[in-house]
Structures are given as structure tokens and as C-alpha cells.
Amino acid sequence: MNTEESLNKEEVTSNSTSQYRNFPMVPRVVFGEGSFSQLGEILLPKRRNSEAPFIFLVDDFFENEEFAAQIPLIFNDELIFISANEEPKTEQVDALVKRIQDTYEELPSGIIGIGGGTLLDLAKAVAILLNNNGRAEQYQGWDLVNRPALYHVGVPTISGTGAEVSRTTVLLGPEKKLGINSDYTTYDQVILDPDLTKTVPKEQWFYTGMDCFIHCIESLNGTYLNAFSQSYGEKALELCKEVFLEDIPECESRDKLMMASWHGGMSIAYSQVGIAHAVSYGLSYLLGVKHGIGNCLVFQHLGEFYPDGVQLFRKMIEKHNIKLPQGVCSNLTQNDFDIMVNVALGMDALWENALGKEWKTIMTPERLQAIYQRI
Amino acid sequence: MNTEESLNKEEVTSNSTSQYRNFPMVPRVVFGEGSFSQLGEILLPKRRNSEAPFIFLVDDFFENEEFAAQIPLIFNDELIFISANEEPKTEQVDALVKRIQDTYEELPSGIIGIGGGTLLDLAKAVAILLNNNGRAEQYQGWDLVNRPALYHVGVPTISGTGAEVSRTTVLLGPEKKLGINSDYTTYDQVILDPDLTKTVPKEQWFYTGMDCFIHCIESLNGTYLNAFSQSYGEKALELCKEVFLEDIPECESRDKLMMASWHGGMSIAYSQVGIAHAVSYGLSYLLGVKHGIGNCLVFQHLGEFYPDGVQLFRKMIEKHNIKLPQGVCSNLTQNDFDIMVNVALGMDALWENALGKEWKTIMTPERLQAIYQRI
């Protein structure tokens, strides 16, 4: 979600009335342990006919798991397992769209994304491209999508990114990593079943949860905040604290992290992320560091800017015995640092949100390089 | 909102799968001081043609206020001022629908409700009945509406009821006070402009805010709660505490109460109200006491059941120097008390939510009458 969140504010500043953005909310949501069992019933009235399949895009983590058998396939519905090891790409979207168009005479009845941020973003993009001509990269940007997406349903199986509730899908294109930001991107239906997060590996759980925690800290400490985003951000932060610092039962913890992700995603409606995201984007651009862990690598060194947040973060790291990689930047050349510094400092809106309009006098290239050198 | 909230759970228990209710959210929301100025722009693409008007139903409090001039009427749009002194009635809905049908050859492009819970509920019902044959009373109940409502927009001008976000519209019918509960009831668009609440009289502000506070206390202390509703209810409660117990600037207070109402309304998705609502319903049924003040009259005497909540409530009453009416039940006959007790004890779901399955052994008619006698 890095670039996306990073660039969110640029959308705002490009539209004179977007101080009052008309924010699209997910129009249908089911919550509850076991609620995934409702998916078949929910899809039934949305099936156009028996020749128009539902296509399920599912994290291949589940390929040999019991869960896969619970996916309600009927008629010519198709289940496609996809690896979430790399960030989603525009070509990957184009290939999926072509594959679906070549296989079926009719447009699908809908697309169901089941997984974490990567799968949720892919499914959104495929749903858009099946109903809009051309290639995915043509729609990277703001409000370039002209026609509604196919009906699409999001089912998160890991909590933190907020992709289940956002109006974007972040894709790595041939030239840029950028979201397809549009009112048609938002899911038509979301199923929040905390039981689906039972099998998440611990480190993945931690890093993805920290995505939520860090973007709450950044937006709540930013200069762009309004009361709408503040109320969602505060609740998400409070839930993160309960999940990562208190000793609550596991099932309660899963429930609360799922709601933290939901509210954290909503909080982005009228706010912006900050320094960790800008700096982490440099890491991601040069070294391919993934979003969740990248934010953690940066955030630990931002005590001057987010003192309370970093203190909480250190307690969370310690409590869960997480060992962050060290020396990530130790073998880089001056040219490498220059690239990262340039990329990060290009994110004007994030710096302005974090440090105010005079941010360039505060965050100099030298000071930023010193942060990278500690990572 | 009294009966509606009261009966919400009956819907749940009448549907075997509604533990996983597929909750409809408002699909579009704008927040911000001054955001009402966006209404014209928002309506433009929704106008079917120049002969299909938008009908604005507006609290007559604004009839001679400057605000009325800001309502964006064009072509043959119509502004109808309506008193919110009495609770909305099914006949009132039927009369409005007939008036609109008689005046225009075409169906309106949409209905805009501007006001508090009464106006917001009326506008929802009119939008439903303009697209569904028959009389409003035929649709009181659960999921009886077959066709979508006309496009409808809600603009709250007082905060607390949560009507801007709920899937019901509570109407007083010839035989019952009951909501039209349906997925089509929810607004298509909401504009949250805290500036519109600047002119609310203080007592009205307090009683309507207490509607939110009390239903949060009841749902958070109830046995039906899940993590989804809990997270919204907790945030709404926290905001109520800031608004009514802390000394925050007025503009911040308006922002926060508007968000409290929003989150409070969302919290009802998977929860239920409790004792104050059940008992207040008896008052409302027999004496016509309005919802906000009725809840306050009851809640002050529920210290045994909601000790922390009642303590907070007393502080709020004191801080804002609110004088609740006294002796409301002092001249009632035993027959009157019997009526109120019967009505209140008929709300099984609320009592079960508050006191558990064995609630009848706890709340006897005698004990309940003693509560009424203190009001």
C-alpha cells in the first residue's frame, strides 16, 4: 500500500473541491467468526446465468489447506491460486484478464479476492479491467476508470493493510508503482471472518498489523487530519494497542485486528501517511523490500518525529520477540543512497503532512541519508 | 428511534443466518465544515431530466433561517418544510407521496432529507413509497420492501440519533410504532457538515446527544455484542465523553458529536439497546414523550443496571445545567402503570440483551413500576 497511501494526498491537492471528497464506502459488509460460510448465499443472486462464472482469486498459501474446500464453487466457477510473494503487477492483471476472456464466452458474474493486500488489490484490478478496455497501466492514477468494475467481493485472510475498504489498488507497472484510484475500485461486498486469519504465520501477522499501526500514528500526527479520519484512526490505534500490547485471548485478538484494519483503512479517507511511508518507499524502490517490513525497518528510527509511536512500537517488537533484519543498507553506495533519498523526498504531500509546509528546511538530504544508514 | 432499536433484535432472531447479517452501509459520504455546499454538484449527475425534480424535505426550524437560501434548488425542484415537533407518521408519509405524485408527471430524481431523526426518517420512507405501491404501514416490519427506494440523500442538522446511517425508518402507524427495516432504507448518500448543527437549541442538542450516549452504554453492556459493533460503540462513547464532559472548542465539539452519531448508528449493526429504551418506550406509548428526553428520564434511575453509565450521565446533566422534568408519572393511575409495564416488558430482546436469558426473574412488573414511579 506504500505508493498508494503516499500519493493519496496528491489526488486531494489536484482537485479543488476534494477537501470535501465524496468518499465511497463498501456498501455491504458481513462480520463474524464463521461468516465465510455465507459467501455462497451472497453470490447466488449476483450470478447472471450459469455460463457467467465467478472467478475466485486466492492466495496460494491456501492451496493445500482445508479452507480451500470451503470455497463455494458451482457451475463453471473457477478458482485461481496466486502467490503473494511479490507485489501485484499491472502485467499480472492483464494476463489474468486475458486468461478469463479467452476461457469464457461471457463476462464473469464477478470476481472474489481472498487473501491479504496483494490478492485483494489484484482482484479489484481484474474486476475493473474486465469491464474497461485496455491495459491496467493505463488506469494507474486518479479517476481514470470510466465504467463500473464487475461485481467484486473482498475476503481478507490477514489483517492490517486496509485494502478491504480502500478506493485503490496499488500495482507495480512498467514505469511506476501507483494505484488505480477510483470510486469503482472499492469492493461491492466484504466478508470479515476473523477465523480466516487463524493460519497466518506470526511474522506476517506482525508486519501486516504494523502496517495499520504505523499508518495510524502517521495520520493522527499529521497536519491534514479532520475529525472523520481522526475518529477512525484513533479507534484503529486503540485496537492495535490491545492486540499487540495486552494479553487478550487469541480469538478476541483476531476480531480486534480485523476491525483495526477496517477502521485504519477508513481513516485514510481524509488523511495522509507520513515519514515512515516516504522513507520506506525509497527502500522498496531500490531494494524491493516489501511494504509491511519496510515500514517497520524505517519506523524504529523515527523516534525524533513520532516519540510516543516509536516507544509503543519498540514495546510491541519486544513483546512478540520479533527480530528485524539489520544492516539492510550497509553495503550500499553513495549512488544508491542518492536514489533512495530522491525517491523519498519526492513524496511532498507526506512530508508536508508530517512536518508542515516548511518541511524542506527540516528534512535535508543529509539527515535522510543518516536515517537510511541506520537501517 | 425507540421502537426501531427495540425491535432490531427481533429481526435477528427471526432469521437463522442473521448472526451474519449482511449489513448495508451508506455507499457515499462527505464530511467537513461547509461540505453542504457540495450538495448541488452531487445531485447534478443524479438528475434524470429537467422534469424529474429533487424534493427537499426540510425541518421547518430552518424556514426563516439564512440556511434555507443555500439549498440548491433548480428547475422544478421543490422544498417542503416539515415540523419535527411530533414523531413521523405513516399517514404523513402517504400524504407526502400523494402530494408529490399529484404534482409531477414524472417520478422525482430523488429525495433529500435535511434535519434531525424525524426528517431523516420521513425522507427515507417517502423515497421507499414513491417506488413501492401501497401505504407506508404495509411496509412496517422487516424486509417487506421489494423494490429499491428512489435515490435519497440524508443531511443531518442535529447529531445523535444515528438515523443518517441506519437501515430503518421508524414510523408511528395506526396500530403500531415500528420501523420500515430494509436494505433499501439506508441512504444512498450522506453529507456530514458539522456547521449545520450550529443553530441547534441547547436542550435539543443535549437530549439528542444523549440518545447516542445511552444506546452506546446499553449496547456495550449487552450480551449480544460482537467485535464489529463494539469497536464502533466504544468510539462513539469516547466521543460523547469528550463532547459532554470535557471543555473542547465548540467547532471540535460539533465535529465530534457528528462522528459519535455516525459511529453510534453503525454500532447497532450487530448489537441491541437495553433497559432505558424498553422503559422509555412505555412512556412514549402512553404519554407521547419524545425519544431523546424519554431515554434521559428513564436512564437517570438505572444506576443499579448501568452504574458507570449513570454516573457519567449525572455528571453530564450537571455540567450542562440541564433540568429534567420531574413528576412525569405522578398523576398516573394503576391502569396507566399497567399499560406502560406491559408495553415495556414486551420488548423481550432488549431485556435479554441487558439482563440475560433469565431476565424475567430479575425485572418483575413490580420492580419496573417502581422505576416508573420515580420518573
Instruction: Give residue ranges of A with CB < 8 Å to any B CB.
Output: 17, 19-32, 34-35, 37-38, 41-42, 189, 192, 194, 226-228, 231-232, 234-235, 238-239, 252, 255-256, 258-259, 263, 269-270
> Rounded distance, CA A361 to CA A355, Å?
10
Question: What class, spelled out in words, does domain A28-197 have in CATH?
Answer: alpha beta
B71, amino acid identity: I
Give residue B281's pLDDT.
Answer: 83
The string of pLDDT tens digits covering residues B27-75 is 999 999 999 999 999 999 999 999 999 999 999 999 999 999 999 999 9
Residue to mutate among B17, B25, B31, with most A CBs inside 10 A, is B31
Instruction: Give residue ranges of B with CB < 8 Å to any A CB.
Output: 17, 19-32, 34-35, 37-38, 41-42, 189, 192, 194, 226-228, 231-232, 234-235, 238-239, 252, 255-256, 258-259, 263, 269-270
Q: Is the dihedral of CA A134, A139, A145, A148 positive or negative?
A: positive
Indicate the average pLDDT of chain A: 92
Kindly state the average pLDDT of the residues A99-109: 97
Query: Please, is A32 exposed, middle or buried when counting C-beta atoms within 10 Å of its C-beta (0-12, 13-18, 19+)?
Result: buried
B354, amino acid identity: A
Give residue A11's pLDDT.
Answer: 36
> Rounded distance, CA B311 to CA B315, Å?
6
- Note whether B27 contacts A23, CB cutoff 8 Å: no
pLDDT surpasses 70 at A15: no
> Rounded distance, CA A295 to CA A281, Å?
9
Chain A residues within 8 A of B243 when measuring between CB atoms: none
Q: Range(s) for CATH 3.40.50.1970 in chain A?
A: 28-197
Report the helix count and the strand count for chain A, using DSSP H and E. Answer: 14, 10
> Rounded distance, CA A198 to CA A158, Å?
9
Cβ atoms A137, A173 nearer than 8 A: yes
Q: Which residue has the cell 426550524?
A: B61
Contacts of A323 (CB under 8 A, 6+ apart): none
pLDDT surpasses 80 at A14: no
Chain A residues within 8 A of B27 when measuring between CB atoms: 24-25, 27
Query: pTM value?
Result: 0.94
> Rounded distance, CA B141 to CA B176, Å?
10
> Rounded distance, CA B281 to CA B347, Å?
9
Q: Range(s) for CATH 1.20.1090.10 in chain A?
A: 202-373
Q: What are phi and psi of B287, to 5 degrees?
A: -110, -5
| Residue A147: DSSP 8-state | S
Q: Taking CA atoms, what residue in A is nearest to B254? A: A227
| Residue A132: DSSP 8-state | S
pLDDT surpasses 80 at B2: no
SS (H, E, C) chain B: CHHHHHHHHHHHHCCCCHHHCCEECCCEEEECCCHHHHHHHHHHHHCCCCCCCEEEEEEHHHCCCHHHHHCCCCCCCEEEEECCCCCCEHHHHHHHHHHHHHHCCCCCCEEEEEECHHHHHHHHHHHHHCCCCCCHHHHCEECCCCCCCCCEEEEECCCCCCCCCCCCCEEECCCCEEEEECCCCCCCEEEECHHHHCCCCHHHHHHHHHHHHHHHHHHHCCCCCCHHHHHHHHHHHHHHHHHHHCCCCHHHHHHHHHHHHHHHHHHHHHCCCCHHHHHHHHHHHHHCCCHHHHHHHHHCCCCCCCHHHHHHHHHHHHHCCCCCCCCCCCCCCHHHHHHHHHHHHCCHHHHHHHHCCCHHHHCCHHHHHHHHHHC
Between chain A and chain B, how many beta carbons pairs sit less than 8 Å apart? 109
Q: Which of the pair, A172 or A190, is modelled with greater confidence? A: A190
Closest partner residue to B27 (CB to CB) among A17, A21, A24 is A24
The string of pLDDT tens digits covering residues B88-101 is 999 999 999 999 99
Identify the band that residue A18 occupies on the pLDDT scale cut at 50, 70 and 90. low
Q: Which CATH architecture has domain A202-373?
A: Up-down Bundle (1.20)
The string of pLDDT tens digits covering residues A138-176 is 999 889 999 999 999 999 999 999 999 999 998 888 777
- Note whether B231 contacts A256, CB cutoff 8 Å: yes
- Note whether B25 contacts A25, CB cutoff 8 Å: yes
Kindly state the average pLDDT of the residues A235-264: 98
Q: Taking CA atoms, what residue in B is nearest to A33? A: B20
- Note whether A31 contacts B231, CB cutoff 8 Å: no
- Note whether B227 contacts A252, CB cutoff 8 Å: yes
| ipTM score of complex | 0.93
CA-CA-CA-CA torsion for A90, A96, A97, A99, nearest 10 degrees?
Answer: 140
Nearest alpha-carbon partner for A187 in A52, A30, A22: A30
Kindly state the average pLDDT of the residues B198-215: 96
